[in-house]
Amino acid sequence: MSDNYLLKLRKRLGVLPFGDWLLMRVVANKAPYFKTISARLDGLEPNRASCVIPKKRKVENHIGTVHVIAICNGLEIAMGLVAEASIPKHLRWIPKGMSLEYTAKAGSDIRCVAETDADAWQAGDLPVTVTAYDDQGTVVVKGVINLWLSEKPARS
């Protein structure tokens, strides 16, 4: 698969001192709610993406851990990065649902990872595996975000 627009943009911005930060700002401007967690890009390639949510007061809950909704937001960013970096040009995607398990307290920065199989990109349902880890490598949230893939309409 040749690089798509997102991977090409990352290569261009990657030569800049704050290139990954700038790329995440571009992503957050497309979906402004993503700005609420200040996620940092951790990795991006076809079929795998990760970002880190810094543990700051603005993403904590009443017990001082990272709020699970902030983690869900980070998982959704990672999933969106995977989708945009991986989807064939003739398809489009939309999230269809999310099923998650909260497996441990999130008391540190959280790394959100989204992964899928390279051969899964065809019209229909596509489950994207998502996992959130604390800084010790403990899984704090795991699950699936389901996408609906469909053919792009013909341009006239």
Residue 66 lies in a domain: yes
Which token pair is 8? Answer: 């090409």
Strand partners, 105: none
Residue 14 lies in a domain: yes
d(Cα 64, Cα 155) in Å, to the nearest integer?
51
Which token pair is 152? Answer: 């792009």
Q: What are the tens digits of pLDDT across the range 137-152?
A: 999 999 999 999 999 9
Q: What are the tens digits of pLDDT across the range 3-38?
A: 688 999 999 998 888 999 999 999 998 888 999 999
Number of structural domains (the chain) is 1
Buried b (16+ CB within 10 A) or exposed e, 60-96: eeeeebbbbebbbbbbbbbbbbbbbbbbeeebebeee
Residue 156 lies in a domain: no
pLDDT at position 121, please?
96
Residue 24 lies in a domain: yes
Residue 109 lies in a domain: yes
Res. 1 pLDDT band, cuts 50 70 90: very low
Tell me which H or E stretch contains 94: strand 91-102
Res. 154 pLDDT band, cuts 50 70 90: confident
Tell me which H or E stretch contains 28: helix 19-30
Q: What are the tens digits of pLDDT across the range 71-130?
A: 999 999 999 999 999 999 999 999 999 999 999 999 999 999 999 999 999 999 999 999
Residue 95 lies in a domain: yes
The domain in which residue 126 lies consists of: 5-151
Q: Tell me, what CATH number does 124's domain have?
A: 3.10.129.10
d(Cα 79, Cα 97) in Å, to the nearest integer?
12
Residue 31 lies in a domain: yes
Residue 70 lies in a domain: yes
